[in-house]
Amino acid sequence: MIQRRLIPAAVFAAAFATAPGASAATTYDDVAPIFAQRCIMCHSGDGAPLGLRLDTREGVMKGSQKGPVVKAGDRASELLRRVRGESQPRMPLVGDPLGQEEIARLEAWVTGGLAPGQSADKPAAPAALARPAAGQPVTWAHVAPVFLQRCAKCHSDNGIMGAPPEGYRLSSYETAISPADRVRIVPGNPGASEVVRRIRGLSQPRMPFDGPPWLPEEDIRLIEEWIRQGAASASGAPAPIPVGARVRFEGTLTGQWAVDGTPVAVDGGTRIDKGPRIGDRVEVRGSVGQDGRIRVERLRRR
């Protein structure tokens, strides 16, 4: 009788793993570049939305204030559902969805057991922010990372403050330019755009709310230029002027009639309260005209 010698399972598995053509297990080293390039512009640091930090394997494993986002072997892990668009909002919030190869790589890592790899304990650095070249139009693709890093942690659904303050969301292009309630971005008119006024400190409270530090001057100028050029989408399509949309902001009366240097339209139908003079703090309430200029309905000294 021929004697067959049984090979221990562990030895067999090891031999198979090292055999020519065998697929190596997916580790954190394989997925860390995805997190660095597409996720940690928001999900890093103390202000990460819901405390979810994706700049280390430890952060991924820890999850958010709502619980784990990955579970070894579970293809239905919340992180995977978000990048596939099965849970909302789909991630990443800005730019194109992850490609099929990137999603497959994340799935392989999760279902394969969340192997650590060699870089598990090394914090990933976010990819450099894209800046327009000289003469290139400024689009949402250029300013979105600024909003997502410093603003969307509050101004988004399920932000660190719960509901977004005053219902205003800066987590997508559509919500940023939305005239619902009142318009905060007036295409072509940065001086009348409440977003600019808040980040410059012309209107109070100054934003971001967790500042200082405030936004760098370079970022503020980028946002101003984006609005001046028409607040274009990532594809370059300018936003329509929200004619008739409500506007409300406060600032300093600097001319007849101008607020912090931005002309506003005052006529016989404007209600003027408390006799404001040049140099006074005033509140402006009105609407957006056909030319993007603010038609003042009420001007009140504060």
pLDDT digits 0-9 by tens, 129-139: 678 988 899 99
Give the mean pLDDT of 287-295: 96
Which pLDDT does position 126 carry in this prediction? 64
Predicted local distance difference test score (pLDDT) of residue 43: 86
Over the chain, what is the mean pLDDT? 88
Confidence of residue 119 (pLDDT cuts 50, 70, 90): confident
Surface-to-core class of residue 196, CB atoms within 10 Å of its CB (0-12 exposed, 13-18 middle, 19+ buried): buried
Given a contact cutoff of 8 angstroms between Cβ atoms, the answer to whether 176 and 185 are in contact is yes
pLDDT at 45: 78
Q: Is the pLDDT of residue 189 over 90?
A: yes
- pLDDT (0 to 100) of residue 17: 39
Q: Give the up-direction half-sphere exposure of residue 297: CA atoms within 13 A in the CB hemisphere.
A: 11
Query: What does the pLDDT look like over 12-54, one tens digit per residue?
Result: 333 433 334 335 799 999 999 999 888 887 788 776 778 899 9
Asked whether the predicted pLDDT for residue 181 surpasses 70, the reply is: yes
- pLDDT confidence of 92, banded at 50, 70, 90? confident
pLDDT at 125: 66
What band does 158 get if pLDDT is binned at 50, 70 and 90?
low
Confidence of residue 145 (pLDDT cuts 50, 70, 90): confident
- pLDDT confidence of residue 63: 96
Whole-angstrom distance, CA of residue 196 vs CA of residue 288: 16
The candidate with the shortest Cα–Cα distance to 118, out of 51, 18, 25, is: 25
Could you tell me if 32 and 107 are in contact, meaning their C-beta atoms sit under 8 angstroms apart?
A: no
